[in-house]
């Protein structure tokens, strides 16, 4: 999934919907043009014309223990080189049902990168990688097998991969989403749900479905350093998740004040520009 300047989950969803609509209504929607587009991006995947970026997810525990956590984003090199407008390639892939190929490529690429780092430095600690899944991937029956084969090829522990789905995907896709969660959990991978703002009952339902982590919705984190009401709301949601056995991650953390409030609330992890910006995976040591 492509990285973009941080904004609320709601804004991202609106932007994605607008881009998807534009991609579907454009002249390129003719059969011939769609086939050409599909061939172009399929070839781009084969030629490694996409780049992986990683954004650290920081533990808020006072004693910093455990391995590093990184959310992985994909960017198209032609976007990075300003040859095509930013944020346009993913809706085109969606319109042509190519996102499962991209998700497969992302899994294989990040594991191979890890294997190369481990080969060069045997004591290098392998991070955990958070990979977002596109809608069409939930209908890709061969995706779990691809993950298994990639783990076997790279000799990476399965718990180094955790896959992120949105609350919308879990709700709208229903059975395919739950089947995918069960399959990935069965391999030893973790699953996270983003945009969570529910109750303890919702949290327990997520846990029963196999989810282990939740990313809190932007609305839950917004203004917690300025408003007692907002802070009380965060405490309620965070407590509900912990009672259900779920760890919590706050996104869009941009200020020290927000970070301090999250620590006081007992949130487990934080992610955002205050922690670190996404950088090319090749630059991470």
- Domain parsing of the chain, residue ranges: 10-283
What region does 230 belong to: left with phi over 0, alpha with psi -120 to 50, or beta?
alpha
**Out of 1-5, 128-132, 158-162, 200-204, which region has the weakest mean confidence (pLDDT)?**
1-5
Does 52 score more than 70 pLDDT?
yes
Question: How large a percentage of the chain has pLDDT more than 70?
Answer: 81
State how far the Cα of 126 lies from the Cα of 118, in Å rounded to an integer. Answer: 8
The pLDDT value given to residue 260: 95
Question: What tokens appear for 238 in the block?
Answer: 């965070």
The model's pLDDT over 15-37, given as tens digits with 9 standing for 90+, comes to 444 444 444 444 445 545 555 66
The residue ranking higher by pLDDT, 285 or 107, is 107
3-state DSSP assignment of residue 130: strand
**Domain range 10-283, CATH architecture:** Alpha-Beta Barrel (3.20)
């Amino acid at each position: 999934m492509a990285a973009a300047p941080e904004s609320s989950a709601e804004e991202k969803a609106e932007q994605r919907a607008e881009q998807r609509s534009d991609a579907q209504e454009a002249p390129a929607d003719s059969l011939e043009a769609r086939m050409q587009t599909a061939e172009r991006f399929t070839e781009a995947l084969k030629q490694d014309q996409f780049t992986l970026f990683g954004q650290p997810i920081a533990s808020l525990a006072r004693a910093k223990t455990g391995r590093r956590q990184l959310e992985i984003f994909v960017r198209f090199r032609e976007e990075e080189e300003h040859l095509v407008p930013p944020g346009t390639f993913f809706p085109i892939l969606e319109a042509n049902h190519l996102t499962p190929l991209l998700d497969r490529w992302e899994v294989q690429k990040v594991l191979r990168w890890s294997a190369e780092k481990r080969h060069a430095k045997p004591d290098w600690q392998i991070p955990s990688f958070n990979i977002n899944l596109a809608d069409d991937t939930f209908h890709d029956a061969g995706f779990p097998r691809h993950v298994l084969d990639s783990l076997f090829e790279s000799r990476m522990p399965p718990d180094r991969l955790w896959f992120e789905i949105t609350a919308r995907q879990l709700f709208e896709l229903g059975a395919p989403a739950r089947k995918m969660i069960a399959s990935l959990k069965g391999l030893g991978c973790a699953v996270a749900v983003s945009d969570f703002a529910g109750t303890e009952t919702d949290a327990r339902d997520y846990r029963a479905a196999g989810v282990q982590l939740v990313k809190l919705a932007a609305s839950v984190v917004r203004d917690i350093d300025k408003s007692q009401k907002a802070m009380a709301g965060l405490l309620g949601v965070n407590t509900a998740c912990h009672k259900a056995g779920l760890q919590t991650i706050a996104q869009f953390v941009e200020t020290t004040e927000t970070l301090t409030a999250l620590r006081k609330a007992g949130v487990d992890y934080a992610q955002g520009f205050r922690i670190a910006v996404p950088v090319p995976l090749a630059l991470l040591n």
